[in-house]
Every structure is written in structure tokens, then in C-alpha cells.
Copies of this chain bind each other. A is one copy, B any other.
Amino acid sequence: MDLQYALELTGTFVFAISGALAIREKEHDLFGAGFTGFITAIGGGTLRDILLDSHPLVWIGDIYFLYSILAGILTAFLFPSILSRLRKTFFLFDTLGIGFFTVLGVEKALSLGVRPEIAAIMGMFTAVMGGVIRDTLTNEIPILFRKEIYASACLAGAILYLVLDYYSLERDYNMLISMSLIISIRMIAMKYKLSLPRLG
């Protein structure tokens, strides 16, 4: 099992935990929380692969993704109060996660032969659309439309990856640099409560 595969399963695990905990304050039961964890973990990659007609979907073709999700949901069920105290750790994990999945999504889209402009959108979708679908189902304003810089950080990182790839930067370095950009933008935006200007 190579490093990237281990990271993918870990990222899926973390997204499932954060999805299951996302609705904790609401009236949802355990099943609702599990469902939300599942959707958060698979939503972005599923949307990307359906748009690009890439089948089988990752979690349908490789059962270990489903096991990672179930492990994440179970963890959220068993240790909710511990996890809540780790809120800052989770914010970090989520930020690492969106950085990682953005780059993975860009690479997968490129490998399927689409143009870089489309690959950038797919990278961002991979990272954020699971959360958007979760928020839509639970009648929240999707995270995408809330004030903090979130999806736009992913888009910036995806574009940087494509630019550096165009200039033939070695892939591992590129991945690190592009992820760092996403993570930095997101953390600085949170710390200083930065947001993009509004329309009009």
C-alpha cells in the first residue's frame, strides 16, 4: 500500500468524521449522522467522476473506501465529546483534506484527458462538493456561499498546480507547493477573518 493510497483512505476517514459531526447539534439520529458522514466523504469525488464519466466510482470499485467511511462514522459515534474538544485539530484536518483532494481531483481529471481549465474546476469540486451536498440536504447555506474563503482557496491551488505542471515541475514538489497554497490561504483567511468582496 503506497503513501498516496494510504492518504486517500485517511482523508476519506477524516471527511466522514467531520460530516457525521457536522449535524451534531441538530435533531438528527445516528442514522442521519452516518448518512451525512457518508455523503460528505464521497460527494465531491462522485460528482467529479459522474461529470467525467469515469466508472466505476472510486468507492464502488474499491471497498476499502467504504470501510474507511464506516470507521469514520463509528469513530464519530463512539467519541463525539472527545472529537468536539479537538475542534481545532479537526479544522486542521479538514484544511489538509481539501488541499489534498483538490490536487488529487486535478490529477484524475487530467489523466482522463480534459483540458486544464476543466481540471481546475474538477479539483475544486472534488474537495468541496461533498460538503455542499451535505449542507443542501440539511438545509444549511452551503459552505461555499458562507463568508470565509473556502472553495476559492481550492481553486487557487488547483490553478497553481496546473501552472507549475505546465512548467514541468516534478509532481511531488508541485503537490506539496499547491497544497501549501490552499492550506495557507484558508488558515490566513480564518485567522484574519478575510473574505472576498461582495458583488456590486
List A residues at the B interface (Cβ < 8 Å): 20-21, 23-24, 26-33, 35, 46, 50-53, 55-57, 59-60, 63, 66, 76-77, 80-81, 84, 114-115, 117-118, 132, 136-139, 141-142, 144-145, 147, 149, 151-152, 155, 195-200
Identity of the chain B residue whose Cβ is nearest the Cβ of A139 in the assembled complex: B141
Report the minimal beta-carbon distance from A114 to chain B, rounded to whole angstroms: 6
Identity of the chain B residue whose Cβ is nearest the Cβ of A83 in the assembled complex: B200
Identity of the chain B residue whose Cβ is nearest the Cβ of A114 in the assembled complex: B60
Cβ contact of A31, chosen from B21, B137, B151, cutoff 8 A: B151
Cβ contact of A27, chosen from B33, B66, B84, B147, cutoff 8 A: B147
Residue with the greatest number of chain B CB neighbours at <10 A, chosen from A29, A117, A144, A152:
A29
**Chain B residues whose C-beta falls within 8 Å of the C-beta of A142 in the assembled complex:** 137
Cβ contact of A28, chosen from B51, B80, B138, B199, cutoff 8 A: B199
Instruction: Give CA–CA (A132, B152) in the complex, Å.
Output: 23
Do residues A145 and B28 form an inter-chain contact, with CB atoms below 8 A? yes
